[in-house]
Amino acid sequence: MKDDRVKEMWSIDADAPLQSVLDSPECPPLLRQTLTGTISWQTRDEKPVWRALTSPRVAPQWVAALLGLGATVTVERGDGPDEVPLAVGAGLPRPHALHVPLGGPGRRWGEAHVARTPADEPIVAALAVVEMDGSAVHQARVALTGVWPEPVRLAEAPSRLIGGLLDEERIRAVAEAVEKEVAPKGDFRGSEEYRRAMAGVLTRRALEQCLHQEEESE
Amino acid sequence: MSSDETQAITLTINGAEKTLTVRRSEVLLDALRRASYTSVKHGCRTGDCGACTVLLDGQPVHSCQIRAVQAERHEVTTVEALAYPPQPPLRGGEMPPSASGGAGGVLHPIQQAFIETGAIQCGYCIPARILVAKALLDRNPNPTEEEIREAMAGVLCRCTGYVKIVQAVQRAAAVLRGEKVGPFVPVEATLAPGESPAGLLGRYYEQGQALPLLVISPPEMEPLRVVGKPEPKVDAVRLATGRPVFTDDVKLEGMLYGVLLTSPHAHARIRRIDARPARALPGVHAVLTCHDIPRVKYASGGQSYPQPPPFDQVVLDDKVRHVGDRVAVVAAETPGLAQRALRLIEVEYEVLPHVLDPEEAMQEGAPVIHDEPDTEGIYDVQRNIVHHIYAEVGDAEAQWAKADYIFEGEYRTSQQQQAHIEPHVCITYWDEDGRLVVRTSTQVPFHIRRMLAPLIGLPVKRIRVVKPRIGGGFGNKQEMILEDLCAHLTIATGRPVRMEYTRYQEFASSRSRHPQVMRYKVGVTEEREVVATELYLIGDTGAYGTHGLTVQMVGGQKGLTLYNAPCSKFVCDVVYTNKPTPGAFRGYGSMQCHFGIETLMSEIADKMGWDVVEFKRKNWIKPGEELLLAQALGEGREGFAQVIRSSGLEQCVQVGLEAMGWYNKRGNETWRQGDKGTRRGIGMAVMLHGSGIAGLDMAAATLKMNDDGSFNLLIGATDLGTGSDTILAQMAAEVLGVPVEDIIVYSSDTDFTPFDKGAYASSTTYISGGAVRKAALKVADQIKEHAALMLGVSPPRRGGWGGWELRDRQVFAPDGRSLTLAQVALSSLHQQNQHQIIASASHMSYESPPPFGAQFVEVAVDTETGQVTVERVLMVVDAGRVINPITASGQVEGGLQQAIGFAHCEEMVYDEKGHLVNPRFGPYHVYKANEMPRLEVIFVQTEEPTGPFGAKSVAEVPMDGIAPAMADAIHDATSVWMREVPFTPERVWRAISR
């Protein structure tokens, strides 16, 4: 879906290393935040963008952030290059370029996660991006890690925000809906029950950050 | 083109164009090491540890994740490039002039800074780390601490806690910016008579700032010349420049590669094993199975003779008892060929029922893990109880009758892995005299020689064990893990053989920390006096006994003597399960049992509304008191009576309370309110450990004088990165009146150094130090005797050299005349009464004086998610007189990192079939540089009368109190008690949600 409020698109060569994404002055703070902490400098130097997009274990939070931002990729079709929404999972074609919509004046974002330690891979992470049109929500995207084998953008729950105010009551309703929508699988770092509960808590927190965030100046 | 085909690639390595022939699938790591760039280390091959980091076009990459062909036409930098060639020959302890210090410099300022700050312990990760620092400083000459930590996060360190690494990069950055830096020294403070150590603190730190490393001395403690000084490590230059000093850094002509086939089943009998297809593969030189090796029973734990029973292992068995157990070994021309051969070994298993839980393993009808008839000494074979331990002191009836309150608590600990970055690695070969040489990464070379002999059918005299530098061990290399297999392959092939564990095998096939279940019972009076204690302990020893007996005995002894109740009872069952075998791990039962007793003591104080510090203070063991269980609980046998002769515990606690601002925070609701729904908490724990094994440990040392007045110090002591070579050199230098650089240390070679039981049980400073001091005193007497001859002075009739002194590389007679040590050496070797000035000495002790400590932790608990963030850790330590404050504080900081991991995140987890689900650094998770809390260390020195120069141990005591201090802090924040480690988010969330 094309968002007419987006001012411009930042395009990245899919062969570029992840470090070049981080080093770019255009890199939005949400992407910057999700490329540090858990991912080492060495990994960022050696893994190209396409690898992170097709192997979700490389940088799951970053991929979730891209889903939240509504990123698209250029892939080669039989009839030439085609720009399609970013999708994650095995067997998808290798992209040639990644396109990240740069924030419009109404964009707000939030990130929340739980991990064993501060730099451990999150057990569950939630990334929310909300585009505001005045006081109403024009677009809301919530992406999660740790509730599906790969990072996933939830379709249903965040749509409840669209067209209305971004307030705590509606955020709570979305968080509850997210808990119901996710289908996590437990492992040694967190059971299914725990991950489901965290999906709700962290979605709420990520959206609350959007609520309290000053509009991005850029 | 197949992955095995080779091609020539041209690339620039360290500024020179090189052409390497590589396989298409070969990673850059292997290509570089094959080309003798041995500074590039390997630790995981999964891109998790970062030890293999090199710079590719100036940017750090894991060379294990990059194929060599990808580096074609690129520029590769290894640490060999940094020191300016040609490097002059360096003596042990000698520091080449600094690159920043003027002409003739050979070290890069980053290398220099790493040496000066003590950032190098085992040194295995250091080449990678120095390269990352260079890449960082090239792009950012003035990085913040956060930026340094973020850059360093890709290289794991298990030794240092990252404190000095950050300081090294900051120091190097300053030097590279052209700033002047002062000497890197701790803050030393001597108390005035009657002055409280806590009162000193205000002088040295500002609120909110990290404390500097502080060494507090009592008023009566005389400063010494070399002992107590922050001498750089004698092996630091070798390590900083990436010289080939580790086991795997040599290549021998005709060397074969040995690999191990391990069990995919938790419990199975090998019904049939056919190695013929593997043997038929060209290039395979040996395949050994249980049918090829004599069945000799042994125990793999490296302990003194006689080792504790049972001998429940054989080199290769027809039964496997855990996933990862040994099945067969192969030696082949290349590692790849050896792996192919492994896959060709046909094994038919009869899978048996297995049991992973020690409490289930003890039930009637559980699978019997050791049903073989030739293992003797198992307490109850049918119930898998390998040992049952009982020890009791005091009048139980009378003491329990005094108790007004009885408290009980059950505590559980997990299986933590040592996670040293250098894997187990061993090279064996026949020397020119037909003796077997074992070059191995071990903590116990002399035990290995003795234990290996019967397994390979050679007498001890035909075996030489050499320990090069070790890339960390932490107890895991106090075992015979690979040496017997590697030796058998050399015997079978006649060729040198190299064997190395993969990271998976480190988790599944080496050793780990014993998981324990502890049931404590404590009787307390209205007057807050602990009058009786009991501990029932279940120790899970996995598939084999090895350290099962001794770890639990130490745990019981330490766990019940910290509060030393007049009546104490210890009952323990050590239980087999079908899990990978736990063994020795720094902390050795003590840290598990400290978690139980210290948490229960804090719980009691909380329930009774008592001040936790006052309650503990009233009851902790004090100077002059006898450790009541010490005699009953030695290590694997009866011990010896122990009396506390020195203790700085009271001062440690006082200093810690002051430094933390304890009484402003504890229970303070305003302070507890953290950001974003978190609650803060502060907790504390006290602890004691030991210094060697009383009446058992022995070490010896030899000192030999050279023509120039320098000395060779030959020691069996095993420096596994701790700095023991350095502190032992300092002790010799102190006695002989020379600088450390005049002491050339050679250690850990069973042919050329005297016996030492090895590096374990916190014994090196105390026991090996005692031997070095005695040898040095003997040599000093010989020097004085020869000097008297040279000066025409009669030696004293009844010994005693009062008025004679060794200092400043000279010997001074009572009349003020002096000779240089070089003059004495030349005279004694060439001119007068010619003889070698040389002495050996041995040392053992019936005492094992405990170092003491107090640990304080601040945490933030996210009450909605259960995530705990450790924000600050302080340890105040009484290790007697500190021999080297930099290396000693490095020991504490590194120990704290491991202890935080134990308490917070590290845990080997299994699926229902007994397979590990997290046998990699990533999912297992070792604390990284960018997530460490603020770590601070203060030494409160005491004089231990039985220790060399007043020293006690320091290596293990940092492990003991973090888990209970964290539990105490989490309770302060949330009012819930955590009784099982690690404190994972889900466990804390469930506890809070209850």
Residues A96 and A117 in one domain: no
Confidence of residue B100 (pLDDT cuts 50, 70, 90): very low
Residues A190 and A111 in one domain: yes
Tokens of B804: 């004679």
- Domain annotation for chain B: domains and CATH numbers: 6-81 (3.10.20.30), 113-182 (1.10.150.120), 185-223+645-689+849-994 (3.30.365.10), 254-352+422-471+477-509 (3.90.1170.50), 382-408+515-626 (3.30.365.10), 698-844 (3.30.365.10)
Residues A123 and A190 in one domain: yes
Residues A58 and A74 in one domain: yes
Q: What is the pLDDT of residues B351-400, one digit of tens each?
A: 999 999 999 999 999 999 999 999 999 999 999 999 999 999 999 999 99
Distance CA B627, CA B874 (A): 27
Residues A118 and A73 in one domain: no
Distance CA B897, CA B900 (A): 5
Residues A122 and A86 in one domain: no
Compute the nearest-CA separation of A44 from chain B (Å).
8
Compute the nearest-CA separation of B514 from chain A (Å).
19
A140 part of a folded domain: yes
- Tell me whether residues A201 and B53 touch, CB distance under 8 A: no
**Total count of domains within chain A:** 2
Q: Is B25's pLDDT higher than 90?
A: yes
The CATH number that applies at residue A13 is 3.30.465.10
**Domain C-terminal end among A72, A101, A130:** A101
Residues A154 and A189 in one domain: yes
Residues A41 and A70 in one domain: yes
Residues A89 and A15 in one domain: yes
Torsion, CA B735, CA B738, CA B742, CA B746, rounded to 10: 10
Sheet of B805-807: strands edge to edge?
B805-807, B810-812, B818-820
Q: What is the pLDDT of residues B485-495, one digit of tens each?
A: 999 999 999 99
Compute the nearest-CA separation of B322 from chain A (Å).
20
Q: Is B457 exposed, middle or buried (CB count within 10 Å of its CB: 0-12, 13-18, 19+)?
A: exposed
Q: What is the pLDDT of residues B252-289, one digit of tens each?
A: 999 999 999 999 999 999 999 999 999 999 999 999 99
Of B60, B869, B918, the CB nearest to A188: B918
A175 part of a folded domain: yes
Residues of A in contact with B862 (CB under 8 A): 114
**Domain C-terminal end among A73, A101, A129:** A101
Q: Is A184's pLDDT higher than 80?
A: yes
Distance CA B994, CA B987 (A): 11
| Residue B269: φ, ψ to 5° | -105, 140
pLDDT, mean of residues B220-226: 96
Element at B114 (helix H, strand E): helix B109-116
**Is residue A189 within 8 angstroms of chain B, CB to CB?**
yes
Of B65, B151, B867, the CB nearest to A115: B867
A56 part of a folded domain: yes
Tokens of B289: 């199975």
Residues A112 and A96 in one domain: no
Confidence of residue A201 (pLDDT cuts 50, 70, 90): very high
Nearest C-alpha in B relative to A58 = B47
Share of chain A above pLDDT 70, in %: 94
Q: Is B903's pLDDT higher than 90?
A: yes
**Is residue B989 within 8 angstroms of chain A, CB to CB?**
yes
Residues of B in contact with A41 (CB under 8 A): 60, 132, 135, 150-151, 153-154
Q: Is B104's pLDDT higher than 70?
A: no
A1 part of a folded domain: no
A217 part of a folded domain: no
Distance CA B690, CA B761 (A): 7
Of A45, A194, A205, the CB nearest to B60: A45
A3 part of a folded domain: no
Of A41, A119, A198, the CB nearest to B865: A198
**Is residue B909 within 8 angstroms of chain A, CB to CB?**
yes
The CATH number that applies at residue A184 is 3.30.390.50
Q: Which of residues 147-176 of B touch A (CB under 8 A)?
A: 150-151, 153-154
Q: What is the pLDDT of residues B928-981, one digit of tens each?
A: 999 999 999 999 999 999 999 999 999 999 999 999 999 999 999 999 999 999
Q: Which of residues 671-700 of B touch A (CB under 8 A)?
A: 676
How many contiguous H segments (helices) and E segments (strands) does chain B have? 27, 33
Compute the nearest-CA separation of A111 from chain B (Å).
13
- Tell me whether residues B925 and A190 touch, CB distance under 8 A: no
- Structural domain boundaries enclosing A70: 9-101
Q: What is the ipTM of this complex?
A: 0.95
Distance CA B861, CA B971 (A): 10
Distance CA B915, CA B909 (A): 8
Confidence of residue B676 (pLDDT cuts 50, 70, 90): confident
- Cα B969 to Cα A115, B523, B671, B861, B972: the distances in Å are 19, 24, 13, 9, 5
**Domain C-terminal end among A85, A101, A117:** A101
Compute the nearest-CA separation of A30 from chain B (Å).
17
Residues A117 and A97 in one domain: no
Q: Is B97's pLDDT higher than 60?
A: no
Residues A208 and A111 in one domain: yes
Nearest C-alpha in A relative to B859 = A117
**Is residue A21 within 8 angstroms of chain B, CB to CB?**
no
According to the 3-state scheme, what is the secondary structure of B781-804? HHHHHHHHHHHCCCCCCCCCCCCC
DSSP assignment of B240-299 equals HTT-S-BGGG---TT-EEEEEEE-SSSSEEEEEEE-HHHHTSTTEEEEE-TTTS----B-
